[in-house]
Amino acid sequence: MAQITQEDILAFLEEATILQLNELVTAIEEKFGVVAAAAVAAPAAAEAVDEGPSEVTVVLTDVGATKVAVIKVVKEITGLGLVDAKKLVDATPATIKENISPEEGDAIKEKLVAAGASVEIK
């Protein structure tokens, strides 16, 4: 039996009619027990939409009774100085961090809630 090369196969595919290609696909499906179907990307896209936002904003809505503790946490999270962190806390409702991952937003929220603040993630 003569060796068939990849170039021979590609040459046949270039010259074959649609009917011949359809018969070839059917023969391959029967011989190897497979189904020639296009991959569907729609379910993957739908799952990505259901995951929620890719970026969130953490907003301090209320300082609570322990303002000093909240200022310390805001200072730690934002990297601001003590005076700037106090100004940010005094300007409640205040945006603490914008365009961050939901996981980072949840971690920041946990820290602020533990300090006695009320936080909203948008």
Dump pLDDT digits (tens) for 41-98.
555 555 555 566 788 888 988 888 888 998 898 898 888 899 988 898 898 888 888 8
Q: Which domains are present in the chain?
A: 1-37 (no CATH), 56-121 (3.30.1390.10)
pLDDT of residue 51: 62
pLDDT of residue 6: 93
* pTM, 2 dp: 0.56
DSSP 88: H
pLDDT of residue 47: 55
Kindly give, in sequence order, each residue whose CB lies less than 8 Å from that of residue 97, ignoring residues fewer than 6 positions away: 57, 58, 77, 78, 104, 105, 108
Dump pLDDT digits (tens) for 95-106.
888 888 888 888
Which residue, 95, 51, 97, is CA-closest to 77?
A: 97
pLDDT of residue 39: 58
Dump pLDDT digits (tens) for 4-42.
899 999 999 999 898 998 899 899 889 988 887 765 555
pLDDT of residue 7: 92
